[in-house]
Every structure is written in structure tokens, then in C-alpha cells.
């Protein structure tokens, strides 16, 4: 039985940036000295902000702006050694990542990485910082991490249990009780957040001396913060790894072939460049943008294919969005051919089958070209990148490979970030350079005007950040107010409708109460004038709809007196529907009954009489009549019924005699 392919997982960032990315490069000085300066570029996906700052100001800038990524071409431009790097990582905001855009343990030259991804590059530190920011925004690079995703939350005593003015036992019991109470509060908060954790408690006289929670999550995921309050302190610390580790900033997104079947139900299929079906999808509700997003999450299309010719407009729109090559068959693919080509693929409906067939047929058409390109591509190059440019860009393999190969004449020594041991002479030079940098920095710090300017700028930046946060908060509040106003209007409409419905039902209930009283009371609670009254159910016309409406409003039950305001025009089925209610009597007006309806009611022993013979008082849909008059109508009908039965019997006897005489005459002949 064919097995459905497992979808490919990729980075969630596929369009605009969600936050700011900082690109950082050493501007002057040495990281091992006391006062290096840094070129910093802030990139939000559209605009760039540049500045040169000291190490201290860089830390303040990161803490204040909390960028999503701090990107650099070499992690040791931010720390002198491994311990310094771990310290730097520990002080980063919870949501900020340190990314080395040139790779992991053996980084490439930044120029080569920038060239491969089409990012502007220059040797100036500010240009390198910009290149690092742009590359990180494209999910290029490795996240540098020294911590696991496990966080330790420790609740402990905030002060010594020595004498505190009370007796020592009471003082100790109070502190331990406060620790136990806070530990239970932390446990409740972790449970509400749905976090997995293990708890280790040290119990002592009066409560806990400490409680340690090993929580599966980063500090940003934990609804508890570090603080110290009187008798209790809470400390939060991430679990440190044995060394520095690297994680790809984005998982690899391979090049793929995509088949699309548009229509009321849109289907898409993703096929690898080896012809394997990776995923299939169909939807009746998603728009084209959602389909494109689904494709982006599964790969980078080289070819977008359809199973009909010419290519539908929706498929063409998707193809243009990826700048991919298009493929259509010479004529529409027959159903039996599509079934045969997809016989080993699992799909849920015909639309998915057509999308898979289109992608596989496109692969079959290009398979020979793929093989020829693969023979020419060296192992160090990505076959998918080359195929994309050859198939979609219509470039030659040789041109693509020449473009991908780095410039051999480039001075790579300047960008080769190897950590070799420096000679004594180099160390002396570095120390002297660091000393010069420190003296120059000290001289600049002594200039009052510059110091005042920097302080003012820092204050303005803080005010600007606060104003931006306040503006975002007010915008959120305005959106929430608008949402609540719309919700309030909706609820008011529902309330008004419910009030109108309640008034309508209340009026109907009053009418039903009056009818019920007439229908069920023994008239002991009414006046003597009403003792001869009987309720009458009013039916406006002799149709099924009118009968059903009356039955729904106040019910038609066996033994009811029914008043037909218009008794004409009824057929057999309508008369049978009325007879099913087994009425005691039917009063008609507004026209004569049809012969068919009269026969049906007679067959069911339903007395029928003219309404003119009865005094009927009608109030809305309710009516009453005198019992004596109803009985008179019934007696008249019974008399007519007996006469009718006699007539029918006489006619039957006459018919039998006629038939007998006819048979005798036939026998004589």
C-alpha cells in the first residue's frame, strides 16, 4: 500500500521580518583590549540604521531594542575567549539570538557567503556589518548557543535564619513557610502555562528551605521572573552546555517541482528533483496566497506544472511568484494516463491526483536534463541551485558554475577566521595598539561637549523607545476597543431580536392559555354565560399549509371542532390530512366542499356542516361556539349520513339487479 510522504519542515520566516536584526563588526581596537568600538547596522527588512558604538553602548543598545538576531561574521569579535562568549550569551535578552553568518566551526569568508546569496559586500567594517545583517535576515548562518532549552527556577530563602527580633524558631518557621508558599505559587503558574518540569524540594522546619524546578523551556516561555522580596528570592538560570554549539538558523529548503490543479477545490503536489512525491494538499477555502505559503514551507520550486494546456491563470500567477519555469502537456492529460502515473501515490481526491500527475509528468519531461546537469556539477556545489538557474533561468551549466566559484585572486587571508596562536611580537603589537586605542578613547571621553552630546542622544533614544512602546500599546488598545465595540453591537442586535421574539412568544402564550382554558376547563371557574361554550380551532383555508400552520400554532387534536373559513378547493390528500386529526365536527364557510373532499370526510365519519348554522365568535386565531349549536350540526349531519347510506345501499342493490338481469339475457341467447 503506498505511503503518503511526510511534509518537509522549514523556517517559519518566509516574508517580512518580524523584528530588527543587528549586524556587528569590529570598527577599531581589539576585543582583547578594554575599549574596542563596533560598527552596528540595524536592519528591519526595509530600512537600515548605522552607528559606531563602544562595547558598553552596544550592550545597552541590545538590551533596549531586544533585536531578534545579533549577526556577525566571527563570534570571537564579541568576546575574547570561550568564557567571555558564554558570558555574552548569558546577558543577551531571552528572545535575541547570536548568529555567525559564515558557518559553524570552520567559517567561510564573508565575501564568499555574501556573493553566494546576492548580498552587497565591502571590506569596510560598516559594509561587513550590513552584509551580516542582511544575511541573517535571509536565515543564513548558524545560531551560536551555550545553553540548553532547560531552565532552572530556584525558590529559596531571601535572608539568613538567624535571630530577627522574634525567637529564632518562630523566625525560621516564618521564612520557611514563605518559601513553601512561593514555591506552590510558582508550581501553579508553571501548570497554568502547560510547561513540563521536575521539582526537587528540601523540606525543613516550618516549610521549605528551597525548591528547584527543572523546566523544559526557555526563560521567555516561563511566566516567572527573577526577584527578591523579603524572606524569599527567585532565581532563573538556563542550563549550560558542555561547550559552544551551533544550530542552523533555517532548515534546508530543497528545490522541488510543484503541480497545481486550480478550481473550486485547489490542489497542490510537491515532487523532489529525484521524482519522489514529498507532499500533497487540497483546499476549498484557502486563497492563492495561502497556497503559495504552503508551497514555500515545503521547498523552492524549479518548475510549476499544470495538467491542461494552456496554463490556467491561477497556475501562472503561482509560477510567476516563484520565478520558476512552467510546464504544460501538449494536450490535456487523459484521466486514465493520470491514474496510471499516480498508481503508487496516496491521495484523497481527484484534484490531488491531477496535481501529482502534473508534477510527475513535468519531472519525466526534464529527467534527462536533470541527469546531464548532475554529471557536470562538482560535489561542493548544491545541485538544486544549479538546476534552478539552468531550468528556470535558462543559463548554461558552465556559466552557473563559473558564477558560483569564488574569485581565486581575492585576498582570503583577510577574512579567514582561524584561531591560531599569536607570536610574542604580534601580541606586543596588539597590546600597544590596544593601549593607543584606550588612550584615544580616554581623550575623547574627557571632552565635555561630546560626553554631553552622547548623554543627550542616549536620553532621546530612550524617550523614543518609550514613545514607540507607548504608541504600540495604544494601537493595541484601539484595536481591542474597536473589536469590543463590534462585539457589543452584535450582542445588542441579538438582544433586540430576542426581546422581539419573547414578546411574540408571550402574546402567543396568552392566546394558547385562553384556548387551553376553554379546551380543558370544566367551566367551574367561568361565568354562567360561558357554560355552553366550546372552543373552535380556526383554519383559514382548506389547504395542507393552512392545516399545518394551525397545528403548529395551537395544535389540532382528536375531538376538536374545526372552523374552515374557506372550505372550497380541497383535494383528497388535503381532506385526508384533516381527517387524520379526528375532529369532532368541521364547520365550513366561503364555498362548497369538493365532491372528493366530501367523500373522504364522509368515509372517515367526520361530521361536516355549514358555519352559518352556528354562532361563532372569533378573537384573533381563537374562536368559541355554543355546544348546543355544535350538537345540532352533528345531528343534522348524522341524519344526512343515514339518508346517504340508504341511497348508496339502494344504488348498490339496483346495480346488482341490473347486472343479474343482464347475465340472464345473455344466457338465453
- pLDDT (0 to 100) of residue 162: 59
Does some domain include residue 118?
A: yes
Domain boundary among 378, 395, 412: 395
Q: What is the mean pLDDT of residues 13-23?
A: 64
pLDDT of 270 strictly over 90: yes
Q: Are residues 82 and 123 in the same domain?
A: yes
Longest dimension (CA), the chain: 154
What value does the mean pLDDT take over residues 67-74?
92
Both 182 and 88 in a single domain?
A: no
Q: What whole-number percentage of the chain has pLDDT above 70?
A: 84
Residue 627 lies in a domain: yes
pLDDT at 408: 42
Which are the contacts of 277, defined by CB distance < 8 A and separation ≥ 6?
5, 269, 270, 271, 345, 356, 359, 360
In a domain, 572, yes or no: yes
Closest CA to 8 of 295, 355, 342: 295
Task: Identify whether residues 55 and 97 lie together within a single domain.
Answer: yes
- pLDDT bin (cut points 50, 70, 90) of residue 624 is confident
Q: Are residues 108 and 205 in the same domain?
A: no
* pLDDT number for residue 51: 92
85/180 same-domain check: no
Residue 10 has a pLDDT of 31
Mark whether 153 and 231 lie in a shared domain. Answer: yes
Of 147, 172, 204, the one marking the end of a domain is 147
How does residue 660 score in pLDDT terms, banded at 50, 70 and 90?
confident
Q: Are residues 155 and 141 in the same domain?
A: no
Q: What end-to-end distance do the CA atoms of the chain give, in Å?
A: 85
Asked, for residue 412, whether it belongs to a domain, the answer is no
The predicted pLDDT at position 465 comes to 85
In a domain, 447, yes or no: no
Which of 94-108, 150-164, 649-663 is modeled with the greatest confidence? 94-108
Taking Cα atoms as reference points, which of 164, 113, 153, 167 lies closest to residue 136?
Answer: 113
Strands 533-539 and 561-564: parallel
User: Residue 419: is its pLDDT beyond 70?
Assistant: no
Last residue of a domain, one of 109, 124, 147: 147
Give me the domain span that covers residue 372: 255-395
Average pLDDT of the residues of the chain: 81
Please report the pLDDT score of residue 4 as a whole number: 34
Please report the beta strands in 217-310, taking only residues with DSSP state E, as ranges in sequence order: 227-229, 232-248, 255-261, 266-272, 277-283, 300-305
pLDDT at 8: 30
Instruction: Reduce the secondary structure of 177-191 to three states and give it as a string.
Output: HHHHHHHHHHHHHHH
Overall average pLDDT of the 230-252 stretch: 79
238 pLDDT above the threshold of 90 = no
Same domain, 317 and 212: no
Query: Is 5 inside a domain boundary?
Result: no
82 vs 590, more confident: 82
Using 50, 70 and 90 to split pLDDT, how confident is the model at 527? very low
* Higher pLDDT pick, 421 / 659: 659
Both 300 and 215 in one domain: the answer is no
Closest CA to 106 of 417, 561, 428: 417
Check whether residue 234 and residue 279 sit in a common domain. no
Region 582-598 average pLDDT: 86
461 within a domain of the structure (yes/no)? no
pLDDT of 304: 94
pLDDT at position 18, please? 61
Q: What's the pTM value of the predicted model, to 2 decimals?
A: 0.40
- Would you say residue 601 lies in a domain? yes
What single DSSP character describes residue 118?
Answer: T
Q: How far apart are CA 136 and CA 113, in angstroms?
A: 11
Number of domains in the chain: 4
Q: How many CB atoms lie within 10 A of CB 635?
A: 12
CATH of the domain at 640: 3.50.30
How many contiguous H segments (helices) and E segments (strands) does the chain have?
17, 21
Kindly state whether residues 154 and 142 are assigned to the same domain: no
How much is the pLDDT for 202? 87
Give residue 463's pLDDT.
Answer: 86
Please give the residue that has the higher pLDDT: either 421 or 526.
Answer: 421
State pLDDT tens for residues 449-484.
676 777 778 888 888 888 888 888 898 899 899 999
CATH number of the domain within which 296 lies: 3.30.420.10
| CATH classification at residue 228 | 3.30.70
Residues 373 and 261 in one domain: yes
Amino acid at each position: 500500500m503506498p505511503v503518503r510522504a511526510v511534509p518537509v519542515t522549514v523556517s517559519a520566516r518566509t516574508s517580512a521580518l518580524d523584528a530588527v536584526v543587528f549586524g556587528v563588526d569590529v570598527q577599531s581596537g581589539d576585543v582583547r583590549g578594554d575599549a574596542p568600538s563596533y560598527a552596528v547596522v540595524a536592519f528591519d527588512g526595509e530600512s537600515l540604521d548605522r552607528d559606531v558604538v563602544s562595547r558598553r553602548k552596544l550592550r545597552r543598545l541590545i538590551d533596549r531594542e531586544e533585536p531578534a538576531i545579533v549577526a556577525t561574521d566571527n563570534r570571537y569579535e564579541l568576546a575574547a575567549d570561550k568564557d567571555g562568549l558564554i558570558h555574552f550569551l548569558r546577558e543577551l535578552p531571552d528572545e535575541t539570538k547570536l548568529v555567525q553568518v559564515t558557518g559553524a566551526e570552520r567559517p567561510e569568508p564573508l565575501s564568499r557567503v555574501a556573493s553566494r546569496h546576492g548580498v552587497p559586500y565591502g571590506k569596510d567594517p560598516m559594509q561587513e556589518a550590513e552584509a551580516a545583517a542582511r544575511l541573517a535576515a535571509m536565515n543564513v548562518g548558524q545560531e551560536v548557543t551555550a545553553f540548553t532549552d532547560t531552565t532552572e527556577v530556584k525558590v529559596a530563602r531571601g535572608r539568613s535564619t538567624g535571630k530577627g527580633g522574634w525567637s529564632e524558631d518562630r523566625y525560621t518557621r516564618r521564612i520557611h513557610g514563605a518559601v513553601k508558599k512561593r514555591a506552590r505559587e510558582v508550581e501553579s503558574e508553571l501548570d497554568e502555562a502547560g510547561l513540563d518540569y521536575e521539582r526537587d524540594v528540601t523540606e525543613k522546619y516550618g516549610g521549605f528551605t528551597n525548591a528547584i524546578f527543572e523546566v523544559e523551556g526557555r526563560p521567555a516561555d516561563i511566566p516567572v521572573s527573577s526577584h527578591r522580596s523579603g524572606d524569599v528570592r527567585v532565581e532563573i538560570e538556563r542550563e549550560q552546555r558542555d561547550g559552544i554549539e551551533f544550530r542552523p538558523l533555517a532548515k534546508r529548503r530543497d528545490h522541488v517541482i510543484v503541480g497545481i490543479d486550480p478550481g473550486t477545490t485547489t490542489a497542490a503536489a510537491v515532487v523532489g528533483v529525484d521524482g519522489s512525491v514529498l507532499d500533497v494538499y487540497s483546499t476549498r477555502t484557502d486563497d492563492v496566497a495561502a497556497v503559495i505559503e504552503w508551497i514555500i514551507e515545503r521547498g523552492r520550486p524549479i518548475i510549476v506544472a499544470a495538467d491542461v494546456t494552456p496554463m490556467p491563470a491561477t497556475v501562472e500567477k503561482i509560477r510567476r511568484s516563484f520565478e520558476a519555469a512552467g510546464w504544460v502537456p501538449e494536450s490535456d492529460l487523459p484521466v486514465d494516463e493520470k491514474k496510471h502515473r499516480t498508481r503508487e501515490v496516496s491521495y484523497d481526491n481527484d484534484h490531488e491526483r491531477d496535481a501529482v500527475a502534473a508534477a510527475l509528468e513535468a519531472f519525466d519531461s526534464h529527467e534527462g536534463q536533470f541527469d546531464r546537469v548532475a554529471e557536470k556539477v562538482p560535489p561542493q556545489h548544491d545541485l538544486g541551485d544549479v538546476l534552478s538557474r539552468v531550468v528556470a533561468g535558462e543559463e548554461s551549466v558552465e556559466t552557473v558554475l563559473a558564477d558560483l566559484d569564488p574569485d581565486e585572486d581575492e585576498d582570503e587571508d583577510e577574512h579567514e577566521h582561524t584561531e591560531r596562536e599569536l607570536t610574542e611580537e604580534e601580541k606586543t603589537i596588539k597590546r600597544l595598539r590596544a593601549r593607543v586605542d584606550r588612550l584615544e578613547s580616554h581623550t575623547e571621553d574627557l571632552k565635555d561637549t561630546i560626553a554631553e552630546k552622547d548623554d543627550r542622544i542616549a536620553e532621546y533614544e530612550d524617550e523614543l523607545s518609550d514613545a514607540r512602546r507607548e504608541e504600540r500599546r495604544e494601537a493595541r488598545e484601539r484595536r481591542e476597543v474597536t473589536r469590543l465595540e463590534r462585539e457589543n453591537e452584535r450582542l445588542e442586535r441579538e438582544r433586540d431580536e430576542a426581546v422581539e421574539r419573547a414578546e411574540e412568544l408571550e402574546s402567543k402564550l396568552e392566546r394558547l392559555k385562553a384556548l387551553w382554558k376553554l379546551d380543558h376547563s370544566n367551566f367551574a371557574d367561568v361565568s354562567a354565560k360561558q357554560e355552553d361554550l366550546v372552543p373552535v380551532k380556526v383554519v383559514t383555508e382548506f389547504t395542507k399549509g393552512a392545516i399545518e400552520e394551525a397545528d403548529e400554532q395551537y395544535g389540532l387534536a382528536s375531538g376538536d371542532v374545526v372552523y374552515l373559513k374557506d372550505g372550497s378547493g380541497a383535494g383528497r390528500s388535503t381532506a385526508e390530512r384533516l381527517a387524520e386529526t379526528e375532529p369532532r365536527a368541521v364547520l365550513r364557510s366561503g364555498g362548497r366542499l369538493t365532491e372528493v373532499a366530501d367523500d373522504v370526510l364522509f368515509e372517515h365519519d367526520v361530521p361536516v356542516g355549514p358555519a352559518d348554522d352556528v354562532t361563532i365568535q372569533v378573537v384573533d386565531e381563537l374562536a368559541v361556539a355554543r355546544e348546543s349549536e355544535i350538537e345540532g350540526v352533528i345531528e343534522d349531519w348524522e341524519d344526512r349520513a343515514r339518508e346517504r347510506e340508504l341511497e348508496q345501499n339502494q344504488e348498490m342493490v339496483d346495480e346488482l339487479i341490473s347486472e343479474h338481469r343482464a347475465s340472464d339475457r345473455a344466457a338465453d341467447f
